[in-house]
Structure 1
Amino acid sequence: MASQRNVFAFQKGVILCTILATIAAQDPSVVTDNNATIFGETVDFEFAEFAIQKKVDVYRGIPYAEPPVGDLRFKAPVKKVLTGVYNATHFRPMCPQVIFHVPGMQPPLEAQDRSEDCLHLNVFVPQSLATPAAVMVWIHGGGYVDNAGPSESLYDGSALASVGDVIVVTIKYRLGALGFLSTSDSVSRGNYGIMDQAMALEWVQDNIAAFGGDPGNVTIFGESAGAGSVGVHLISPKSNGLFARAITQSGTAISPTLLETDFEQMNARAHALGSLVNCDVGGSEKLVECLRDVGVEDLVRAQGQVTGIVGDNERAFLPVVDGDIIPKNPADILKDGSFNRVDAMFGANGDEGMYQVYLAHREWANQTDPYVSKEEFEALLQARLYNYGQLENEVLMESIYFMYTDWETAPNPNANYRHGFSQAFGDEMFVCPTETYARAYANSGATVYRYHFTHWPSKSFFGITWSGATHAEDLPYVFCWHCFPRLNWNLTDTEAKLTMNIIKYWTNFAKSRNPNIPDTENTRTDWTEFIMPNMTYLELSTESKMAAAVRATECAFWNDFFPQLKALTDVDVQPTKHTSKASSVCMGTASLVLLSLMVAISM
């Protein structure tokens, strides 16, 4: 290891020979491998509540692929081979996107710079690390359209590295049309963003030993679309062998709006994009050739217009079942067991859908208890729920309405349906697809842990007081945002302890596939494995506890009942316009189909 990791000093200079001459005396933040000398800088990290102070060697903006520009736009990434001396002391530009911004925080300065030359990664190595060390590779979320620039600050790996004694790698990948445009043929197959991620994982396999890491002990983890990406790598044969463990936070490859199974639909969207930038020029080859010459900012603006055409509850450019990277529908892969068998941790949040209420009604941001009427509940279902607004089949929509109406309060004309919508969206999009993954992996013999994050934060990711444990509210705890003064993210003492617990759980799992490594400085709930039929999971909060069968009834509805109902209604019931009357469930042919299926499933 000493021959692989060579530590030198560095005094900043302008001339290369000056750099090489002064590398040998001071700063222990230079790593060499067979191809290049990479120098970064040492930063101080502090977790004040637990008296943790460490120095972390940080290497920023290391390229893992050639810039995907010109003829390389809409093509698989090409491996970057570094030579000579590389300055890894600053972040590189974000991938082209609409700038992501967390309410209540100033956008990081680096978020202002955007470039297609963005395929870089960052490495965080705590000093005095026992080697070879476990490695955690973070894949950011953002709906496959944003979040790659501000993530440099929001997803600083210093806390995980320092508290957990692991090496953390954060990566960027192509987004939107640049990352996922597909013409449904060999001209542009799509999934370029997923290919970028896989190439970054290959870089880790080839180079992380030089940083003191163990290429055989790599955990990939991500949130939202990042978790969806992890879900893709779990089922993609192209990713086999690139990691040993996985953690998904609120997302899977079977989550609605995080995967496109209709290749022809993606082709139509590619041509729709072309028509918006004067590239409506014929077949796939001419279309893509023209799109390669379009200015990147014009392309980003146009892809937003395509999303508007598709609808608010769906993204225009997504990972697609292409027969190669994703060989077939991931749901079928999970059923037949042909996925990559690694140990995994799967989870979601308790109030996932509240952020959708906020996105639909930003004027409610300053309210303390927004009121969602029965009519608004149905409007939100229609606009935001994938399997509601898309289908326009009365019996299907009424089944969802029935499932998520609180019938104990429904007779009250002033009943608030906000919670019902939040649960409907969260179950369909995140919780129940996660359950499918957890069951498939547990049945395969893998070590599986399941969690459900239910803590209502004192400061919300979305800057509102009524969102509960909604989407993304786990991120400040996983990455210890309050440990970084620049983020201005204050927490209570109990939340600081929750942060410590989560970081320990995540990093312990990465190191040993067991989140429960004894820790004399902190007391945590013992977390037992998720196995069938017990289905135990950790309710993750300031008062964590073990429970069983998270959202069991609701997930039986989405994973078993609803698909069978859809299959029946596709044959027996013609699509109709929703009447917004729950009583219609008890009327007509639709009600007979629904009733017969309910009886059949219950027997």
Structure 2
Amino acid sequence: MILIVIGQFDFNDAGFDAFVQRDLGGIRGAHKNVSVNGTIKTVHLFLGVPYAKPPVGRLRFQRPEPFLNFTTDSTKYNGNYFRSACVQSVVRKPVFTNQSEDCLYLNIYKPAKASNLAIMIWIHGGGFTSGSGDQLNMEYLAAFGNVIVITFNYRLGVFGFFSTMDENAMGNYGLWDQRLVFQWVKKYIHSFGGDPNRITIFGQSEGAVSCSLHAMAEMNRNLFQRVITQSGSAMSVLNNISVDARLNAIHVAEEVGCQITNEDYNNKSKLADMVQCVRNMDVQTIKDVMITTRNKDQVEGLPVFLPVVDGDLIKVDPRDQKKLETENNEGLQFFGSLDFLNGITSWEGVSFMHIIQNDINDLFKPQPRSETIDNWLNPSLIESIFKRKFPKEIQQVVWNRYTNWDNPLSPETVRKQLLQFLGDVAYNVPATIPTNGN
């Protein structure tokens, strides 16, 4: 067993409600041997370390408050197992069965002999609706990469991004959770043998979107120096940051039984009562409503609750180049100061496989529907990139570019060309151009 004693926990950053200076106490971890090609290395694990107070009660729909101490007596905090994933209102049979609102924990993987090592903080993907910090094994990366790896949970879906776009519920709680992890690591990673001046944040899919958003936030300066994004970008059409978050919040509140309607859209008092009503609602009730309404309220699987422009962490829509330059110039300068590595893969569009199949129960049936192609092309996909409509002739030219003329009518080749097109729209184009069409 490994004993690490962490020093003073003292946050002076604006935006937190509590500023208490206190010893965190001891944390007891474990060790594990991992082997690659006969080479054995030892990794020390510290799992389920709380970095924020449980976001329940008055803290639901609020920015996270830092966890102040592990222990209140001489006992050591048990860091030998993962804690619950955050609540995920996506499907009735979730991948992560152990879920809770009390979920803001991080995991630390370090080589046995760690001194002044670089740090990598992983942000998991999952469309801002699902995922967990323990879904990937980071033991081998830590051991054979000789780095300290941090994974963590952050709030998702309605619990992470419910917003009225005003002081009642600004939103982006999941992103603020992520930032609190950056601060925690910056402050305390030296106790684990890490170098707080060599921190890389990295993520995949919506984890990559998160990394991109943080990389354009001036307030994150000095919290990390490098960014790696895989299969995701803040420019992606999947990151629909212009969604009407207040209208979505009203709709969910109606569904769970709160007294609110669309007519109350600009009624500040009614909105305040609505937020308090949903804040007091049972978790399972909210989950059931989200699962029931998800398919009928979303545009082909896009999550309803997403990051929003809050004027603080996200100052402007990153896809708006003019506003970026005029209203977030400091954020752009911060972005320019970072080492940034971005990656995409072949066949990114496979993530949309379930959309184009006639039979959702058999994803191996190569039968994309012709009406699906028409609906995506006219005008959704091309318009989503360029933010303008094009004549059908132009749309046909684009589709011709993806057509396999050796066998253009085969369901298999049609499926492949559609998946390639979807991958370009959702992942590849946003990763390789700075803004829409420019």
Normalised TM-score (structure 2)? 0.83
User: 1:124 is matched with which residue: 109, 132, 139?
Assistant: 109
CA distance in 1, matches of 2:63, 2:204: 24
Tell whether the 8 Å contact from 1:218 to 1:245 is kept in structure 2 after alignment.
Answer: yes
* 274 and 306 in structure 1: CA distance in 2 versus 1, 3 angstrom threshold: farther
1:54 counterpart letter in structure 2: K
User: 2:280 is matched with which residue: 293, 306, 311?
Assistant: 293
User: 1:46 is matched with which residue: 32, 35, 51?
Assistant: 35
1:302 counterpart letter in structure 2: V
* 326 and 376 in structure 1: CA distance in 2 versus 1, 3 angstrom threshold: closer
1:116 counterpart letter in structure 2: E
- Note the C-alpha offset of 1:400: 4.1
The match for 2:69 is: 82
* 286 and 382 in structure 1: CA distance in 2 versus 1, 3 angstrom threshold: farther
Listed as ranges, the matches of 1:442-457 within 5 Å are none
The match for 1:349 is: 345
Q: Does 1:320 align with 2:320?
A: no
- Note the C-alpha offset of 1:259: 3.7
Tell whether the 8 Å contact from 2:127 to 2:206 is kept in structure 1 after alignment.
Answer: yes
Percent of paired sites with the same residue: 30
2:437 counterpart letter in structure 1: N
User: 1:403 is matched with which residue: 394, 398, 401?
Assistant: 398
Q: Does 1:112 align with 2:97?
A: yes
1:344 counterpart letter in structure 2: F
Q: Which residues of structure 2 form unaligned runs of 5+?
A: 8-22, 265-269
* 257 and 218 in structure 1: CA distance in 2 versus 1, 3 angstrom threshold: same
Listed as ranges, the matches of 1:105-254 within 5 Å are 111-129=96-114, 131-148=115-132, 151-152=133-134, 154-254=135-235
Tell whether the 8 Å contact from 2:212 to 2:229 is kept in structure 1 after alignment.
Answer: yes
- Note the C-alpha offset of 1:408: 5.9
CA distance in 2, matches of 1:32, 1:397: 66
1:203-238: CA deviation from partner (whole Å, max 9, x where unpaired): 101111000011110000000010000011011123
The match for 1:419 is: 416
* 390 and 218 in structure 1: CA distance in 2 versus 1, 3 angstrom threshold: closer
| Worse-superposed segment, 423-432 or 64-73 | 423-432
- SS of the equivalent of 2:52 reads coil
Q: Kindly tell me the number of residue pairs found equivalent between the two proteins.
A: 397
1:39-77: CA deviation from partner (whole Å, max 9, x where unpaired): 111112122xx3331111101100100011111110111
2:87 counterpart letter in structure 1: P
The match for 1:365 is: 363
CA distance in 2, matches of 1:253, 1:215: 26
CA distance in 1, matches of 2:86, 2:38: 37
1:292-328: CA deviation from partner (whole Å, max 9, x where unpaired): 1111122123234156313224221000112111011
Tell whether the 8 Å contact from 2:385 to 2:437 is kept in structure 1 after alignment.
Answer: no
Tell whether the 8 Å contact from 1:45 to 1:56 is kept in structure 2 after alignment.
Answer: yes
CA distance in 2, matches of 1:114, 1:343: 35
Tell whether the 8 Å contact from 2:50 to 2:67 is kept in structure 1 after alignment.
Answer: yes
* 396 and 124 in structure 1: CA distance in 2 versus 1, 3 angstrom threshold: farther
- Note the C-alpha offset of 1:141: 0.4
* 205 and 412 in structure 1: CA distance in 2 versus 1, 3 angstrom threshold: closer
Tell whether the 8 Å contact from 1:358 to 1:364 is kept in structure 2 after alignment.
Answer: no
Tell whether the 8 Å contact from 1:388 to 1:396 is kept in structure 2 after alignment.
Answer: no
CA distance in 2, matches of 1:83, 1:293: 27
Q: Does 1:258 align with 2:239?
A: yes
1:217 counterpart letter in structure 2: R
- SS of the equivalent of 1:246 reads strand
Tell whether the 8 Å contact from 1:216 to 1:243 is kept in structure 2 after alignment.
Answer: yes
2:34 counterpart letter in structure 1: F
Query: Which structure has the bigger radius of gyration?
Result: 1
Q: Does 1:431 align with 2:428?
A: yes
The match for 1:268 is: 247
| Worse-superposed segment, 393-402 or 91-100 | 393-402
What RMSD over aligned residues (CA atoms) do the two structures have, in Å?
Answer: 2.8
CA distance in 2, matches of 1:330, 1:88: 38
User: 2:290 is matched with which residue: 283, 294, 303?
Assistant: 303
CA distance in 2, matches of 1:52, 1:396: 61
CA distance in 2, matches of 1:73, 1:396: 47
CA distance in 2, matches of 1:307, 1:321: 25
Normalised TM-score (structure 1)? 0.61
* 422 and 339 in structure 1: CA distance in 2 versus 1, 3 angstrom threshold: farther
1:428 counterpart letter in structure 2: V
Q: Which residues of structure 1 form unaligned runs of 5+?
A: 1-26, 441-557, 561-603
Q: Does 1:72 align with 2:59?
A: yes
- Note the C-alpha offset of 1:175: 0.4
- SS of the equivalent of 2:27 reads strand
The match for 1:504 is: none
1:426 counterpart letter in structure 2: G
The match for 2:17 is: none
Q: Does 1:33 align with 2:33?
A: no
The match for 2:20 is: none
| Worse-superposed segment, 74-83 or 171-180 | 74-83
CA distance in 2, matches of 1:179, 1:200: 15
Tell whether the 8 Å contact from 1:43 to 1:57 is kept in structure 2 after alignment.
Answer: yes
1:424 counterpart letter in structure 2: F
Tell whether the 8 Å contact from 1:377 to 1:418 is kept in structure 2 after alignment.
Answer: no
1:121-153: CA deviation from partner (whole Å, max 9, x where unpaired): 000011123x100000000000000112xx41x
1:144 counterpart letter in structure 2: F
- Note the C-alpha offset of 1:436: 2.8
User: 1:284 is matched with which residue: 271, 277, 280?
Assistant: 271
Tell whether the 8 Å contact from 2:90 to 2:129 is kept in structure 1 after alignment.
Answer: no
CA distance in 2, matches of 1:185, 1:57: 44
* 112 and 364 in structure 1: CA distance in 2 versus 1, 3 angstrom threshold: closer
